[in-house]
Amino acid sequence: MSTRPLLALAFGLVAAPGFAAEPSATDQKIAALTAAMAVAAIFLGGVQQSWWLLTLAAALLICTGLVLLVRGNASTDAAAGAWLDQAVRSEFDSLLAEIVGAVEPQHCELLCQIKASIAGMAGSPLGGGSDEHFGIDDRHYVIECMRRYLPDSLTAYLVIPKTQRRPAPLISTSMACPADLLSAQLTLLRDELRLREARATRSAAEGLMRQQRFLASKRSVD
């Protein structure tokens, strides 16, 4: 029995689309060991004309391919959202739900806009790396905004008694009241997040733009 079909199967599995993701070091070691066993079984099966050895080799190759395919896709999906931790998002959403009734309507509107920008970035296929559009500093800002920047502003505001949140200006007439100070801080955070949301959109569209530039370079000239 010819061993060429089995060897073709081995190369076909490794070249499958799911292997675009880089497997982990452990996966590589397991795959290498299993592939070596399969190649040995193919060789012995071909020499001895043993059907059961060839069947074993085919089973090893198929199992190895399926395992790496599934784990490769899983690691790709995990990497796509790894930069924005789900636990951080859940805690952030819980915080917003708790303070809705404790702030003024204009604050609620700004908080909704902030949440929408974060949700937009969370849905972008940014992966675990960075590029010229959406870099490590952008990721850090978004995460810290959810963990510290926004919660700290809200906490500092909520400790002020309600009757003093919109009194006469603090200390001097040149200083805004607490409600206006919070509005200014929320506006700043919203604007910064919108800026990073636009960068994330450009980053997600980079593959399509790269294809556009490639196709334009192949356009025939009259």
Q: What is the pLDDT of residues 172-198, one digit of tens each?
A: 555 678 999 999 999 999 999 999 998
Whether pLDDT at 144 is above 80: yes
Best-predicted range by mean pLDDT among 15-29, 62-76, 197-211?
197-211
Structural domain count of the chain: 2
DSSP 49: T
Residue 200 is assigned to a structural domain of this protein:
yes
Residue 28 is assigned to a structural domain of this protein:
yes
If asked whether residues 90 and 51 sit together in one domain, one would say no
Q: What is the dihedral of CA 138, 140, 143, 144, to 10 degrees?
A: -120
If asked whether residues 44 and 154 sit together in one domain, one would say no
Place 1 in a pLDDT band, splitting at 50, 70 and 90. very low
Task: Give the C-alpha separation, 64 to 14, whole Å.
Answer: 9
If asked whether residues 124 and 27 sit together in one domain, one would say no
Residue 21 is assigned to a structural domain of this protein:
yes
The label of the residue with tokens 């299993």 reads: 34
Place 58 in a pLDDT band, splitting at 50, 70 and 90. low
If asked whether residues 101 and 51 sit together in one domain, one would say no
- Spell out a b/e string for 83-120, using b for 16 or more CB atoms within 10 Å of the CB, else e: bbeeeebeebeeebeebeeebeeebbebbebbbebbeb
Residue 220 is assigned to a structural domain of this protein:
no
If asked whether residues 202 and 122 sit together in one domain, one would say yes
If asked whether residues 117 and 191 sit together in one domain, one would say yes
The label of the residue with tokens 């805690």 reads: 91
Whether pLDDT at 149 is above 90: yes
- Among candidates 206, 212, 67, 211, which has minimal Cα distance to 129? 206
∠ CA 156-159-165, nearest 5°, is 90
- Which run of H or of E encompasses 93? helix 86-99
Domain that holds residue 16: 4-80
pLDDT at residue 214, as a whole number: 84
Select from 28, 51, 80 the last residue of a domain.
80
CB atoms within 10 A of CB 21: 18
Reading the block at residue 185, the tokens are 């801080």
Q: Which of 20-24, 65-69, 108-112 has the lowest mean pLDDT?
A: 20-24
If asked whether residues 132 and 210 sit together in one domain, one would say yes
If asked whether residues 100 and 35 sit together in one domain, one would say no
Select from 50, 80, 110 the last residue of a domain.
80
**Residue 34 contacts residue 66 (beta carbons within 8 Å):** no
**Count of alpha carbons within 13 Å of 207, Cβ hemisphere only?**
4
Residue 221 is assigned to a structural domain of this protein:
no
pLDDT at residue 181, as a whole number: 94
Is 193 strand, coil or helix?
helix
Select from 55, 80, 105 the last residue of a domain.
80
If asked whether residues 109 and 192 sit together in one domain, one would say yes
Residue 222 is assigned to a structural domain of this protein:
no
If asked whether residues 133 and 27 sit together in one domain, one would say no
Task: Give the C-alpha separation, 192 to 198, whole Å.
Answer: 10
If asked whether residues 151 and 123 sit together in one domain, one would say yes
**Residue 128 contacts residue 79 (beta carbons within 8 Å):** yes
If asked whether residues 18 and 50 sit together in one domain, one would say yes
